[in-house]
């Protein structure tokens, strides 16, 4: 029996609730796949600041680096918005990504047939959508220097090196090889020098993947095309700020941000988390949708641990729960047979995953 060490960072708001349900499902699938999980909890975010004065204690970094993977909930909330920038939960998260070297953010956007009416787009536009946004995560304008502000001016610098572009491009092409073998690289090469370098390097990397079809699209057009005809995309490769915007836009194809997982991977330890926030306004009410976190656990099994059978079981269990009409409150108006609490939905999925 294989044993995997998983760092659990529950975080703030609904983070503890949704992580608990993902753990429930992981334990259920482990029982029938001859695997075992050893969990160690660590603090990050507002709760870490309240307890230690630091949104990212060194102990959390150490625990994470000593694990096979990190399962992460959500951080932040209005309670900590007025802290100095370096003490805010979000600053801890950016530092965490840098410390772990997770340079590639993978965000799938899949439309479930059972929830096709949940999207604001017409069913004929979104039926069959299954795309992956591959976003560079620790470079670009969020990390570039110089940056700063004075009373009358603020400035940030978008910077990418050849090395940073090469490694994120390889991630995108490798993922495309497991899918429909199409990569669309998103940039703004008609205006930005950094995007011109991005496009040139992506074209160079593409030569190593002759089976993959490469196309290019300016980011403004990509934002439009993602709504007009999302099925044209398989893998969307892009930089940090463009990927931040486009992946959130893609999340709404499914109809609820509570359905979509993500993975942040690199040379060391991967972090697996839902794309939604901490939702402090509903924390403790038992109404948060745990599916995005449960599917993040599935991505962890697939990408970090190579346990594809267990990942498939979780994916199938989620689809079965939705097909049979189980919904959390955010999806209650879409053909719900039964409206479930956070814990009830987790238990239903865990029961199906264990079969």
Enumerate the active-site residues.
Answer: 142, 188, 220, 244, 248
The DSSP-derived string for 311-335 is: HHHHHHHHHHHHHTTEE-GGGTTTT
Helices (H) and strands (E) in the chain, counts: 12, 14
The DSSP-derived string for 138-152 is: SSGGGT-SS-EE-SS
Alpha-carbon torsion (184, 190, 194, 196), positive or negative: positive
Cα separation, 225 vs 88, in Å, equals 35
Structure token pair of residue 161: 């090196």
In DSSP terms, 4 is beta-bridged to: 37
The DSSP-derived string for 268-279 is: S--EEEESS---
Structure token pair of residue 170: 């390889």
In DSSP terms, 11 is beta-bridged to: 74
Cα separation, 176 vs 41, in Å, equals 34
* C-alpha dihedral, 339 to 340 to 341 to 344, nearest 10°: 170
Cα separation, 35 vs 31, in Å, equals 7
Question: Is 154 exposed, middle or buried (CB count within 10 Å of its CB: 0-12, 13-18, 19+)?
Answer: exposed
Residue closest to 297 by CA, chosen among 95, 29, 2: 29
Structure token pair of residue 146: 């110089």
Report whether 27 contacts 20 (CB < 8 A): no
Cα separation, 259 vs 257, in Å, equals 5
Residue closest to 258 by CA, chosen among 221, 287, 235: 287
């Amino acid at each position: 029996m294989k044993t995997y060490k998983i760092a659990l960072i529950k975080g703030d708001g609904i983070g503890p609730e949704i992580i608990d349900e993902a753990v429930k499902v992981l334990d259920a699938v482990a029982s029938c796949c001859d695997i075992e999980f050893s969990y160690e909890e660590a603090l990050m975010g507002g709760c870490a600041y309240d307890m230690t004065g630091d949104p990212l204690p060194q102990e959390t970094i150490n625990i994470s680096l000593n694990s096979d993977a990190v399962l992460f909930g959500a951080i932040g909330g209005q309670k900590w918005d007025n802290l100095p920038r370096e003490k805010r939960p979000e600053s801890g998260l950016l530092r965490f990504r840098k410390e772990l070297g997770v340079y590639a953010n993978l965000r799938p956007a899949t439309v479930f047939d059972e929830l096709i009416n949940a999207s604001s787009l017409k069913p004929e536009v979104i039926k069959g959508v299954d795309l992956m946004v591959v976003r560079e995560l620790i470079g670009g304008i969020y990390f570039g220097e110089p940056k700063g502000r004075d009373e009358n001016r603020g400035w940030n610098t978008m910077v990418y090196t050849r090395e940073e572009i090469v490694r994120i491009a390889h991630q995108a092409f490798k993922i495309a090889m497991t899918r429909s073998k199409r990569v669309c690289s998103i940039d703004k090469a008609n205006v930005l020098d950094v995007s011109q370098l991005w496009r040139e390097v992506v074209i160079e990397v593409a030569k190593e993947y002759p089976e993959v079809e490469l196309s290019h699209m300016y980011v403004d057009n990509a934002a439009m095309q993602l709504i007009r005809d999302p099925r044209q995309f398989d893998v969307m490769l892009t930089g940090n700020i463009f990927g931040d915007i486009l992946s959130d836009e893609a999340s709404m194809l499914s109809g609820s941000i509570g359905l979509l997982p993500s993975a942040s991977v690199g040379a060391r330890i991967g972090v697996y988390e839902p794309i939604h926030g901490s939702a402090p306004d509903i924390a403790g009410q038992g109404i948060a949708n745990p599916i995005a976190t449960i599917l993040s656990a599935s991505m962890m099994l697939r990408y970090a641990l190579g346990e594809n059978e267990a990942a498939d079981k979780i994916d199938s269990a989620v689809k079965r729960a939705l097909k049979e009409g189980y919904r959390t409150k955010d999806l209650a108006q879409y053909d719900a047979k039964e409206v479930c609490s956070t814990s009830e939905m987790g238990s239903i999925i865990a029961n199906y995953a264990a079969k």
